[in-house]
Amino acid sequence: MLNYRHLYYFWIVTKEGGFARAAERLDMAVQTISAQVRELEKALGHQLLKPAGRGVAMTEAGQAAFARAEEIFQLGQLIPEEVREATSAKVARLAVGLSDGISKLAAHALLSPVLATPTLRLLCHEGEFEQLLAELALHHLDLVLAGQPAPHNPNLRLTSERLVESPVDWYGPSSLVNKAAVAEFPLSLASLPVLLPTGHSALRPRLDRWFDARGLRPHIVGEFEDSALLAVFAARGLGVFPVSRLGGADVALMRGLRLLGPCDGVLEEIHAIRSRRGQHHPLVLQVVAAARP
């Protein structure tokens, strides 16, 4: 087993730039700290530090060890606070994974029932679907919101529930959504600059089929993984864009955006994926219950 006390001394020596300053900070003898670092080098089988002027410098092996030590001891500094939070009823922690393909505006709407929870500590992680499922299985997350259900895998022990099937509407800046564009919708999409979600989104293939069914060839000027970022660029006049009606309330808060028309027949699905432990999380239960019809 790695001796973390030895690693800690090495970390302090590196951060202080030498054994003398490390000894002063730790209120220990230089010889004691030097001996501990040599023990670490012996255990790892590589020299970590080398003389540099009046101080020391890291070898390549030392740089690799320091990078990990930095992560370890920075995380360690968080432990007292997290322990206090874990034993206190005052903190309501909710860690949510957001698949990079779903509408973040819709995700905000789904989470809104718990946002007024006193002393809420909300942690939102965005990432690829498979990565988020792995974090959920390891209990690093309480809930994952995604555009698809979890695949059947008895080893992961995850459950999925479709929370919503939200209709999709087209919005755009007032400078583009004029009377003529609204009157000729959806044909007007062929002459307007269009912003779309990337292929990461389960919504994108549905939109492509919707265009094909109407014989439309949109002028695509931008593609975004993040729907909220897409809406920001649209509000600045870059183009018109689709958004699920669930997130429409947030879109309406952005100055200058107007409804262009409905994307008939296109729905955005959002699934709630939980581990067995997450099924009993009170805030997760509240989110799921509020979304059910």
pLDDT tens-digit map of 204-244: 999 999 999 999 999 999 999 887 788 889 988 999 999 88
pLDDT of residue 186: 94
Pick 92-163+271-291's CATH classification: 3.40.50.300, 3.10.20.30, 1.10.10.10, 3.40.190.10.
3.40.190.10
Question: How much is the average pLDDT of 247-269?
Answer: 83
- Residues 92-127: tens digit of each pLDDT: 889 999 987 787 778 888 999 999 888 888 999 888
Average pLDDT, the chain: 88
Q: Which long-range contacts (CB under 8 A, 24 or more apart) does 135-140 make?
A: 135/97, 136/97, 136/273, 136/274, 136/275, 136/278, 137/275, 139/275, 139/277, 139/278, 140/95
Question: How much is the average pLDDT of 152-163?
Answer: 82
- Are 19 and 30 a contacting pair, CB within 8 Å? yes
Question: How much is the average pLDDT of 157-162?
Answer: 88
- Asked, colleague to colleague, whether 4-86 and 92-163+271-291 share their fold, the answer is no
- Are 231 and 241 a contacting pair, CB within 8 Å? yes
| Among candidate residues 238, 222, 234, the one with its CA nearest the CA of residue 258 | 234
pLDDT of residue 85: 66
pLDDT-based confidence at residue 253 (cuts at 50, 70, 90): low
Question: How much is the average pLDDT of 187-206?
Answer: 91
3-state secondary structure of 167: strand
Q: Is the pLDDT of residue 197 over 70?
A: yes
pLDDT-based confidence at residue 252 (cuts at 50, 70, 90): low
Q: Is the pLDDT of residue 1 over 70?
A: yes
State the residue for tokens 């209120």: 27
Amino acid at 187: L
| 41-50, 190-199, 213-222, 276-285, range with the lowest pLDDT | 276-285
pLDDT-based confidence at residue 196 (cuts at 50, 70, 90): very high
- CB count in 10 Å sphere of residue 187: 12
Angle between helices 19-26 and 4-16 (to 10 degrees): 120
Spatial distance between the Cα atoms of 263 and 242, rounded to a whole number of angstroms: 8
Structure tokens at 43: 């255990």
Architecture of domain 165-268: 3-Layer(aba) Sandwich (3.40)
CATH numeric code, 4-86:
1.10.10.10
Structure tokens at 52: 């540099």
Domain ranges of the chain: 4-86, 92-163+271-291, 165-268
Q: For residue 259, what are the β-bridge partners?
A: 171
Spatial distance between the Cα atoms of 209 and 158, rounded to a whole number of angstroms: 31
- Residues 76-85: tens digit of each pLDDT: 888 887 777 6
Phi then psi dihedrals of residue 55, to 5 deg? -125, -150
